[in-house]
């Protein structure tokens, strides 16, 4: 890559994850979601990819850390920030070229963070009916909000049924009597 120039739209286009990328990185994100499930966490896995390199990855750590903000995306973001520091690269210019892959639609909090960091594209599996920030509850991803970073594109539905099944399995474990 490395060819600059052209319109912003062209840049965003060249950046759009290919089917092959999606398969590859989402498979990775799903592995992490499964690891979360096996460790008593809400099964969500996330990967941040810059220049075909994973610069951040994470899965939910809310129960383990007793910190309700430790969503997969937040864990991955922290790694990306560390990676930028170690690589001596500017956070903004890295984020502007980073795609985020996550098994479940980012929640409102995470979607806002991704806006603030100017992440241009998010690929996700299933919708997040309770907290989704990319259209399910609020449109944080695309709303015209001044001074809150940039909007980002979403590519949804990749292995969505599988992502939903994992969530169902988790909630069944949490509440075995169901309702
Ligand atoms: Zn979140």
Length of the chain: 179
What is the Å distance from ligand 1's center to 9 Cα?
A: 28
Q: What digits encode the pLDDT tens for the residues 105-115?
A: 999 999 999 99
Candidates 121, 98, 4; CA nearest to 51 is 98
The Cα–Cα gap between 135 and 105 comes to 9
Choosing from 23, 41, 64, 73, which is the catalytic residue? 73
- Spacing, Cα 77 to ligand 1 middle (Å): 11
pLDDT in tens, 37-60: 999 999 999 999 999 999 999 999
**Whether 115 contacts 141, CB under 8 Å:** yes
Domain ranges across the chain: 19-172
Q: What is the DSSP string of 4-52?
A: --S-HHHHHHHHSPPHHHHHHHHHHHHHHHHHHHHTTS---EEEEEETT
CA distance 32 to 72: 9
What is the CA(36)–ligand 1 centre distance, in A?
Answer: 14
Long-range pairs for 66-69: beta carbons < 8 A, 24 or more residues apart:
69/109
- Spell out, as residue ranges, where the chain has pLDDT lower than 50: 1-7
Does pTM top 0.85 for this prediction? yes
Q: What is the pLDDT of residue 103?
A: 98
How many angstroms separate the alpha carbon of residue 136 from the centre of ligand 1? 13
Model pLDDT, residue 110:
98
Give the three-state DSSP class for 129.
coil
Ligand 1 centroid, distance to 155 Cα (angstroms): 17
pLDDT recorded at residue 178: 57
Distance from C-alpha of 144 to C-alpha of 176, rounded to nearest angstrom: 42
CATH of 19-172, one of 3.40.140.10, 3.90.170.10, 3.30.450.20, 3.40.50.300: 3.40.140.10
Centroid of ligand 1 to alpha carbon of 105 (angstroms): 8
13 assigned to active site: no
């Amino acid at each position: 890559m490395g060819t600059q120039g052209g319109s912003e739209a062209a840049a965003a286009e060249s950046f759009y994850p290919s089917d092959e990328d999606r398969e590859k990185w989402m498979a990775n994100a799903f592995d992490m979601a499964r690891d979360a499930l096996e460790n008593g966490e809400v099964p969500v896995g996330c990967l941040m990819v810059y220049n075909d390199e994973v610069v951040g990855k994470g899965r939910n750590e809310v129960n383990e850390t007793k910190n309700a903000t430790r969503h997969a995306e937040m864990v991955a973001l922290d790694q990306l920030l560390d990676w930028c520091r170690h690589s001596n690269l500017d956070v903004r210019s890295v984020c502007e070229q980073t795609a985020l892959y996550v098994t479940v639609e980012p929640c409102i909090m995470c979607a806002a963070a991704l806006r603030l960091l100017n992440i241009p594209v998010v690929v996700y599996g299933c919708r997040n009916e309770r907290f989704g920030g990319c259209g399910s509850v609020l449109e944080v991803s695309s709303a015209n909000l001044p001074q809150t970073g940039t909007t980002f594109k979403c590519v949804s539905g990749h292995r969505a049924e599988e992502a939903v099944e994992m969530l169902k399995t988790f909630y069944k474990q949490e509440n075995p009597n169901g309702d």
